[in-house]
Amino acid sequence: AQSVTQLGSHVSVSEGALVLLRCNYSSSVPPYLFWYVQYPNQGLQLLLKYTSAATLVKGINGFEAEFKKSETSFHLTKPSAHMSDAAEYFCAVTLDTNAGKSTFGDGTTLTVKP
Amino acid sequence: DAGVTQSPTHLIKTRGQQVTLRCSPISGHKSVSWYQQVLGQGPQFIFQYYEKEERGRGNFPDRFSARQFPNYSSELNVNALLLGDSALYLCASSLASDTEAFFGQGTRLTVV
């Protein structure tokens, strides 16, 4: 079985500040991990994915995430927040290469203050 | 190139009715997955189809069913609708076993 826990349902940062969104996973085998972003009334867009290659993964829009096996974590970061980053972010896990059968966390809503 | 398209975008149904949601995958993608996203929660996996065969099913009752057509488009059917079925239903397409799934904008189903 696999599961994902996103710590903090709401995160608020000032424009230009560091963004840190937390994700911990539970998996019986080495997982594949994903971060998605969802803007209001839209579907999900993939930000980045970890597929057992480099542990530090760079994604779109300046986001990156680091896979830490010892901590079972895959936190999402961005050095400097932009107003356009305000959205809901989801962490997801799958046990094989099949991203179509992912287990998602409950999401974190990111607010960016001017 | 067209992305994943879903229809309709919004739907209102009465308890006990049946509903059919439709999804067209990205051209060349043979796998389609369906997810239910209840307000305030993450998407939950319902079904995956590949080459018209079911490849996986989430923890949903038998009222939920799906199928995939020869052109790889898919339908999700829900019978005997309950108020709790109100949600955003997302379709995602991907290559056979690929580490990237592309999502449509979803169908917002409201059951009254």
φ/ψ of residue B24, rounded to 5: -115, 120
φ/ψ of residue B4, rounded to 5: -75, 125
Give yes or no for residue A59 having a pLDDT over 80.
Answer: yes
Contact B55 A96 (CB under 8 A): no
Residues of B in contact with A100 (CB under 8 A): 31-33, 48, 55-56, 92-94, 101
Distance CA B65, CA B69 (A): 14
Segment A65-69 mean pLDDT: 94
* Candidates B35, B48, B99; nearest CB to A51: B99
Tokens of B73: 């488009």
CA angle B82, B14, B39 (to 5 degrees): 55
* Candidates A49, A103, A104; nearest CB to B99: A49
Contact A107 B94 (CB under 8 A): no
Q: Which amino acid is at A53?
A: A
pLDDT in tens, B43-82: 999 999 988 899 889 999 999 999 999 999 999 999 999 9
pLDDT in tens, A11-35: 999 999 999 999 999 987 778 999 9
Tokens of B105: 């904008």
